Amino acid sequence: MDAVWVLVLLCTFLWLDHQSLASISTTKGVYIKTNLMYENTIPQGAIGAYAIANFKIRLGKPWNAYNTWKCGRRCLATAGCKSIVVRPSTQTCFLSKLDRCTVPTIIDKHAGFHYYELIPGNSGRTSKTCYDICVAEKDCEQCGRRNCLGEYCDICPHHCWENPLPPNGTQVLWNPTLLSYVAECNNRYQLVVPSSALPNDSPEGPLELRLVVDYSGTILESFFDFYQVTGLKLSVGNFTNGTAGNWWDAPFLDREKVAFNESNCISFYYSPPDDNSTCESKAVISYDEQTNLNLTLVRGLAWYTGDNVTDEIPVTNIQFWMRKIGC
């Protein structure tokens, strides 16, 4: 990857080379080096699982190359230190055991943090970061940008339906600022939690919903042509097909969770109850029985398909899966 600027400090003096990337010599032949991919980033674990210590440098004065050099010198003098993270805004130096040449962890974007590696070399210009070495031989997947493409591995899927190779199961995805998160994917659908906002950002374009109801191991599904979460309010479009049916009487807009007070059903996005509405969860003992036994009320899930046999089976889980329409 082309460098942007270089700093080389050979123990006692400072040399700036603006044609290469940041490289600071902490002692002759040992450099702390960064690159474009490491600017505004924290590789996963660098200041977490692999952290050694952190400290302040020159409080009250603007951050400069000398401060980064001091951080690198501290790393060189610390047993096991392989890299540093600097945060100029708080004048903080983080020492880390992370060696991305050995453990190429995911590179997350974090504005205002900069990552450097402690590496030997004859020249700050020719020595390479672990990332540069990796991408010269391998792909983005193996170098810390899973599921990403492009020369700089910055073309990354934000949601399951954007993954160029849409595998099922747990996947690493990225929000628009390239901060990674983990999601469950299935046939380009993404598992969501209906009581929270969409993960990391709101996708552009209309979404469709796949509702999955688990009847103690028997899986039934229903599909709806619109899905939107606004805070704690849910909007769902027309029922299009599926064996789980449409017990909540979609379509509806901005519905909050509904509680059947004198029932053993957990609050959910049911059709608002009227005087004749009832709800009974087969997953826990009945409301009347719990009341008669003076038990602390325990509630469970419920979903009715209209099939008498199925509706007697306890509902153990209800999942929402979203996908952009047309994907």
What local confidence, expressed as pLDDT, does residue 305 receive?
94
Q: What backbone phi and psi angles, to 5 degrees, belong to 173?
A: -125, 175
118 and 233 fall within a common domain:
no
Which of 320, 326, 21, 5 shows the shortest CA–CA distance to 184?
320
Which of 138, 167, 168, 141 shows the shortest CA–CA distance to 156?
141
What local confidence, expressed as pLDDT, does residue 116 receive?
95
The pLDDT confidence band at residue 3, using thresholds 50, 70 and 90, is very low
Q: What is the pLDDT of residues 11-44, one digit of tens each?
A: 323 333 333 345 666 666 788 889 888 989 999 9
For residue 60, the domain's CATH number is 3.50.4.10
The domain boundary, picked from 115, 143, 171, lies at 143
What local confidence, expressed as pLDDT, does residue 15 receive?
33
Number of compact structural domains in the chain: 2
Find the angle CA(27)-CA(110)-CA(185) to the nearest 5 degrees. Answer: 125
Q: Which residues contact 255 (CB under 8 A, 6 or more apart)?
A: 233, 234, 235, 236, 269, 272
DSSP per position, 132-185: HHHHHHS-HHHHT-TT-BSTTS-B--SSGGG-SS--SEEEEEE-TT--EEEEEE
28 and 88 fall within a common domain:
yes
Q: Residue 6 pLDDT more than 60?
A: no
Range of the domain at 202: 185-324
215 and 297 fall within a common domain:
yes
Q: Which residues contact 16 (CB under 8 A, 6 or more apart)?
A: 5, 6, 7, 8, 65
What local confidence, expressed as pLDDT, does residue 36 receive?
84
In the chain, the N- to C-terminal Cα span, in Å, equals 33
Rounded mean pLDDT of 321-326?
Answer: 91
130 and 19 fall within a common domain:
yes
Question: What is the spatial distance between Cα 23 and Cα 26, in angstroms, rounded to a whole number?
Answer: 10
Q: What is the pLDDT of residues 160-207, one digit of tens each?
A: 998 877 678 888 888 888 888 888 999 999 998 654 444 444 566 799
Q: Which amino acid, residue 251?
A: P
111 and 207 fall within a common domain:
no
Q: Based on C-alpha coordinates, what's the Rg of the chain?
A: 27
What local confidence, expressed as pLDDT, does residue 13 receive?
30
Q: Residue 169 falls within a domain, yes or no?
A: no
Q: Residue 87 pLDDT more than 60?
A: yes
Tokens of 300: 């469970």
Q: What is the pLDDT of residues 98-134, one digit of tens each?
A: 999 999 999 998 999 999 999 887 665 667 889 988 9
CB 211 within 8 A of CB 247: no
39 and 90 fall within a common domain:
yes
Q: Residue 38 falls within a domain, yes or no?
A: yes
Q: In the block, which residue shows the tokens 């009974």?
A: 280
Q: Which residues contact 85 (CB under 8 A, 6 or more apart)?
A: 42, 46, 47, 93, 94, 96, 113, 114, 115, 116
What local confidence, expressed as pLDDT, does residue 35 receive?
86
What local confidence, expressed as pLDDT, does residue 229 receive?
86
Rounded mean pLDDT of 277-284?
Answer: 88
Residues in the chain: 327
37 and 122 fall within a common domain:
yes
Q: Residue 16 falls within a domain, yes or no?
A: yes
104 and 190 fall within a common domain:
no
Q: Residue 262 falls within a domain, yes or no?
A: yes
Q: Residue 132 falls within a domain, yes or no?
A: yes
Tokens of 95: 């020492």
Q: Which amino acid, residue 99?
A: D
Specify the higher pLDDT residue, 186 or 3.
186
SS3 278: coil
The domain boundary, picked from 93, 112, 143, lies at 143
Rounded mean pLDDT of 278-282?
Answer: 88
The domain boundary, picked from 83, 116, 143, lies at 143
Q: In the block, which residue shows the tokens 């060189």?
A: 76
210 and 109 fall within a common domain:
no
Q: What is the pLDDT of residues 217-265, one digit of tens each?
A: 999 999 999 999 888 889 999 999 999 999 999 999 999 998 888 899 9
What local confidence, expressed as pLDDT, does residue 120 receive?
81
Q: Residue 10 pLDDT more than 60?
A: no
DSSP per position, 198-231: PSSSPPSS-EEEEEEEEETTEEEEEEEEEEEEET
Q: Residue 251 falls within a domain, yes or no?
A: yes
137 and 265 fall within a common domain:
no
Rounded mean pLDDT of 288-306?
Answer: 93
97 and 215 fall within a common domain:
no
Q: Residue 1 falls within a domain, yes or no?
A: no
Rounded mean pLDDT of 72-94?
Answer: 94
Rounded mean pLDDT of 268-297?
Answer: 88
123 and 210 fall within a common domain:
no
Tokens of 59: 């409080």
What local confidence, expressed as pLDDT, does residue 151 receive?
80
